[in-house]
């Protein structure tokens, strides 16, 4: 049964819970984006496809630039909070171009690739570099946002969704869906998938500040499939408490982009409901 909880979960309590219920091996798994995708795929959980994983400078030098698609995302395999992600929106005169139309020549991509491999964006260097196809948001969500790729964060206890929010990029967030980078957080009703409130920082908003699109009452497309994808993450990763980031792609539908062993607490402010009463988890699976 889906429920909402009113007691706020603080940072220390969250960390204590994570240490108690999430096994170290499961945390290590989800800190590795490529390994997480492999685990999700093996469990039949829809996840974002991969192009290639580069583990060293030698592999990077062997990369055939001509085999990359017109649009892609280059990510550090172990980075946090969206750090170090480089996006190509299409082909350009000098290689590719960004979403804003800026030229993105191969030498710049190669330099960014070097920084990723050196661990510039990761907690523990060195790192690996992951190329993925650039996902395109479902038209219903593209109409709500300003560029970038919106996603749905679902916090789960085992296979039970507890809270959900839609994260919408803004001009201030640079097209990213991270709340700490000024994206919009919109509360989503678990039963209906309908937006019930939205926040830009500490300000309540009813419309997107850049596009003017009305947010309140909007319905997340494929909502049952979004929740189903989030539910599957516990069994796939071994986590008992997690945050699943689900993207609704225009062609693929809902796919899990990442799984977080330490989901942030902002979702409580966005939804107006707390997570403290999910603490009745006594054993590690």
Between CA 226 and CA 92 the distance in angstroms is 34
| Over residues 35-43, mean pLDDT | 97
Q: Which helix (H) or strand (E) holds 92?
A: strand 90-92
Mean pLDDT, residues 137-162: 94
Q: In this prediction, what percent of the chain has a pLDDT beyond 70?
A: 95
pLDDT band, residue 147 (cuts 50/70/90): confident
pLDDT classification of 38: cutoffs 50, 70, 90: very high
- Collect all residues with Cβ–Cβ distance below 8 Å to 206 and sequence separation of at least 6: 198, 214, 215, 216
Above 50 in pLDDT, residue 282? no
Contacts of 84 (CB under 8 A, 6+ apart): 75, 76, 112, 115, 116, 120, 121, 122
CA 193 – CA 68 distance, rounded (Å): 36
Residue 5 predicted with pLDDT over 50: no
Angle at 256 between CA 250 and CA 260, to 5 degrees: 145
Calculate mean pLDDT across residues 223-249: 97
Question: Is it true that the peptide bond before 150 is cis, omega within 30 degrees of 0?
Answer: no
Provide the pLDDT for residue 6.
63
11-48+137-278 placed in CATH 3.30.470.20: yes
- Reported as a single tens digit per residue, the pLDDT across 67-110 is 899 999 999 999 887 789 999 999 988 899 988 888 999 999 99
Q: Considering only CA atoms, which of 65, 116, 74, 114 is closest in space to residue 92? A: 65
Share of the chain above pLDDT 90, in %: 76
What's the pLDDT score for residue 279?
47
Q: What integer best gives the mean pLDDT of the chain?
A: 91
194 contacts 201 by C-beta, under 8 angstroms = no
Domain definitions of the chain by residue range: 11-48+137-278, 52-133
- Residue 238 has a pLDDT of 97
pTM, entire model: 0.91
Residue 17: pLDDT band (50, 70, 90) is: confident
How many CB atoms neighbour CB 46 within 10 A?
Answer: 18
Find the range with the poorest average confidence among 48-62, 75-89, 205-219. 75-89
Query: Is pLDDT at 149 greater than 80 in this prediction?
Result: yes
Question: What are the tens digits of pLDDT across the range 245-257?
Answer: 999 999 999 999 9
């Amino acid at each position: 049964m889906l429920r909402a909880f009113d007691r706020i979960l603080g940072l220390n309590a969250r960390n204590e819970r994570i240490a108690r219920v999430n096994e170290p091996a499961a945390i290590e798994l989800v800190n590795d984006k490529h390994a997480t995708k492999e685990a999700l795929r093996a469990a039949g959980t829809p996840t974002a496809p991969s192009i290639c994983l580069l583990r060293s400078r030698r592999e990077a030098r062997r990369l055939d630039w001509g085999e990359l698609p017109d649009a892609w995302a280059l990510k550090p395999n172990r980075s946090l909070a969206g750090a170090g992600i480089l996006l190509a929106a299409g082909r350009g005169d000098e290689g590719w171009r960004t979403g804003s139309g800026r030229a993105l020549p191969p030498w710049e991509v190669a330099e960014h690739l070097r920084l990723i491999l050196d661990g510039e964006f990761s907690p523990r260097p060195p790192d690996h570099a992951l190329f993925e196809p650039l996902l395109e948001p479902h038209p219903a969500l593209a109409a709500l946002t300003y560029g970038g790729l919106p996603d749905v964060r679902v916090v789960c206890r085992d296979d039970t969704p507890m809270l959900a929010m839609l994260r919408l990029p803004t001009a201030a967030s640079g097209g990213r869906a991270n709340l700490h980078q000024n994206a919009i957080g919109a509360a989503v009703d678990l039963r209906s998938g309908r937006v019930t409130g939205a926040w830009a920082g500490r300000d309540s908003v009813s419309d997107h500040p850049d596009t003017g699109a009305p947010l309140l009452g909007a319905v997340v497309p494929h909502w049952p499939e979004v929740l189903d994808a989030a539910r599957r993450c516990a069994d796939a990763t071994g986590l008992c408490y997690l945050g699943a980031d689900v993207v609704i792609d225009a062609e693929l539908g809902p796919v899990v982009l990442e799984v977080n062993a330490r989901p942030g607490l902002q979702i409580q402010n966005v939804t107006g409901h707390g997570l403290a009463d999910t603490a009745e988890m006594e054993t590690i699976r």
